[in-house]
Each structure stands twice: as C-alpha cells, then as structure tokens.
Amino acid sequence: MKKIFGLTAIAVALAFAPVAANAKDWTHVKVGIEGAFPPWNLMNSSGQLAGLDVDLINDLCARAKVDCELIAGDWAGMIPGLNAGKYDLIMTLGINDKRKQVVDFTLPYASGVASFLLLKGGTVADLPDTGKRLNLNDKAAADPVMAKIGEELKGKTIGVVQSTSQEQLINAYFGSDVSVRSYQNSGERDLDLKAGRIDAGFDSGVYGTTALAKPGNEDLEMSGPLMKGAMLATEVAIGMRKGETDLKAKFDAAIEDAAKAGTIKTLSEKWSKLDLTPTLATN
C-alpha cells in the first residue's frame, strides 16, 4: 500500500526529527492528508478533502477528544513536514522498517494489498496468479511467481507513484530489467498508461479496484497477484513524530474502539467495497 521513502527522503526526515518529544496535553492536532490518492483521500468537486481517511480521522479525533485540523499536502513532503512541525499526524502511512527509523506509528487502521494495472490488449500479457493473494515473505511460494512476472515485464516501462513502497518493490524485484517511471500521483500515471506511454502500473489494490470502477477507465484491468509483505507497506497507520507517546496512546485507543465498533469496516466498504479492518497488534 502507499508509501515508502527512499534513502534521500529518510535522511532529510532524520535531519528534521527531534531527539525526543515532551509530554503534551493534546487538544488541537494538525493532520496531513495528501488529497490525491482515492479512495483513501481526494479533493471533491468543492475543493474539500474527502475519502476514507477523512471520514475515519474525523471519527478517530472525536473518540480521542481532540480538535483536528486537516491539511492537504504533497506526499513526498509529508514525513519531512511532520518532523518539522507542519503536521502532528499524517494519514495513509504504510508501516515498514525504513519509516520506523524516522517516525512512530499508531496501530494500523487498515490492511491492504498491491497489484498491477494494465491496458487491456496492451503491450503486457495477462500476468500469472491474477486475483490470488501472495505473501512475498513466503519466498518458496512467491519467488517463482515473481520470476514469471519479471519475464513478462522485461524491457517494459512500469509506472509508479514516487516515494512509495510500490516504487521500491518494482526497483528491488525488476529494476535491472525494466524502466521505472515515477509520478506525482496515481491519476497522472493512469493517463500515461491509457495513452500507451508506459506498459504497466503498480499500485495499491484498493486504489486499483476504485480506479477501474470510474468512467473512462474501462480499458484498464488489474493483473497479477494481490501482494503483501517484503518492503510493501500494506498495513496502513497514522504516522507521528518520535516520542509522542501520549498522542499515540490516544489514537491507538481510538483505532481499537473504531475497529470493535465496526466503524472501520463500514467506512472502508463505503469507499472501497472491501473490508480493510486490520488484525490489530502492537507495532
């Protein structure tokens, strides 16, 4: 799922990261949301933030008894902005080891997968194991499938959103055999895919499911397995500065309450048609 910073962004974030945060009585919280990754977040026809993230953070803030100010911003600047104090929380942050070096996470509020997007009848044939779940950490099962996918993609151009775990996976598994083209957001990538300027896209499965349901995307299809594991950040949480233990406790409790109440199920099905309720465990 969305999104993993590269080494340069990690270094920038470390430079801005405070050594430790003092305990604080939180009443007002600034929340960073991209606004360009539907159905997680988007800008509606009125220019307002909307989507699963918006509905859920409003619910979580009420449960945590804090006033939340939602702030739209470019994805690549989210973690540096968090550690510089522009935001106190950032939404749609997939959990992985590199990010744990520079931010803390709440409990996950959603669990997703990643998959390929193709142009029907395009330059890439249907990929193996379409629609099947594949855990990349089960190397005995996953490696042969990924090798077959690599053969199909050899010499092709793959579009990804920059600073994402999807970008890192394509580079790690296929980077020497494919051209990787990075985009500011998924919509820009899809335009190039439909125009034949790239051969395939790789993105969040939730995004893919939603994109295929939109008018104008009838020529696109999801292909290949529904992946999680390895460097993919498919467990989605809220990010915060290191050491904000009081803030983490408030939102961990709110996420647990929302999951138990069925709110995460209701909102994720509303926006993605899928139940993304995570199996909660301490990170």
Question: Other C-beta atoms within 10 Å of 165: how many?
Answer: 27
Instruction: Pick the closest to residue 232 from 76, 7, 3 (CA basis).
Output: 3
Q: How confident is the model at residue 282 (pLDDT cuts 50, 70, 90)?
A: very low
For residue range 13-53, list pLDDT tens digits in order: 544 444 444 557 899 999 999 999 888 999 999 999 999 99
**Kind and range of the H or E run holding 32:** strand 28-33
Q: Give yes or no for a contact between 161 and 190, defined as CB atoms under 8 angstroms apart.
A: no
For residue range 67-96, list pLDDT tens digits in order: 999 999 999 899 999 999 999 999 999 888
More confident residue, 273 or 14: 273
For residue range 211-243, list pLDDT tens digits in order: 998 999 999 999 999 999 898 888 899 999 999
Q: Which domains does the chain have, with CATH numbers?
A: 7-111+234-272 (3.40.190.10), 114-228 (3.40.190.10)
Q: Is 113 helix (H, G, I), strand (E, B) or coil?
A: coil
> Residue 173 pLDDT > 70, yes or no?
yes
Predicted pLDDT of residue 7 = 41
Predicted pLDDT of residue 20 = 41
Q: How far apart are the C-alpha atoms of 235 and 117, rounded to whole Å?
A: 21
Predicted pLDDT of residue 206 = 87
Q: How far apart are the C-alpha atoms of 134 and 153, rounded to whole Å?
A: 18
Q: Give yes or no for a contact between 51 and 88, defined as CB atoms under 8 angstroms apart.
A: no
Q: How far apart are the C-alpha atoms of 126 and 147, rounded to whole Å?
A: 15
Predicted pLDDT of residue 8 = 44
Q: Is 192 helix (H, G, I), strand (E, B) or coil?
A: helix
